[in-house]
Amino acid sequence: MDKITWKDFEKVMICSGTILDVEEFPKAKKPAYIITVDFGEKYGIKKTSAQVTDLYEKDDLIGKQILGVINFPPKQIGPFVSEFLITGLIQDNGSVVLAVPDKAVTNGLRLA
């Protein structure tokens, strides 16, 4: 395991956001959704794709708060450009459990 410095960690913008919309992503190589998230006034609304279809239905995700890395450069994923990385824990079977705040928080708060 590579060690990082505190200064390295401070560069990563992991922020709270609320899922506004979830769409199927039929052109993805593996089953995925296109997820639209509100990161608050300071960071705005961003989209990403996420392979979370094993454990989450589209309707269950609307309104859920998540943690996302918002300072990666945009990433081309097939015909779609991802604007942030939604965080989650990959289980042994490959399914992803989203990393979420356990209490409601303001959108755009930074993980510390």
CA dihedral 45, 11, 82, 23 (to 10 degrees): -50
| Domain architecture of the chain: domains with CATH | 6-98 (2.40.50.140)
pLDDT score for 17: 98
Long-range contacts of 88-91 (CB under 8 A, 24+ apart): 88/50, 88/52
Per-residue pLDDT of the chain (112 residues; tens, 9 = 90+): 999 999 999 999 999 999 999 999 999 989 999 999 999 999 999 999 999 999 999 999 999 999 999 999 999 988 999 999 999 999 999 999 999 999 999 999 999 9
Paired tokens of 33:
């959704």
Burial class (CB in 10 A: 0-12, 13-18, 19+), 72: middle
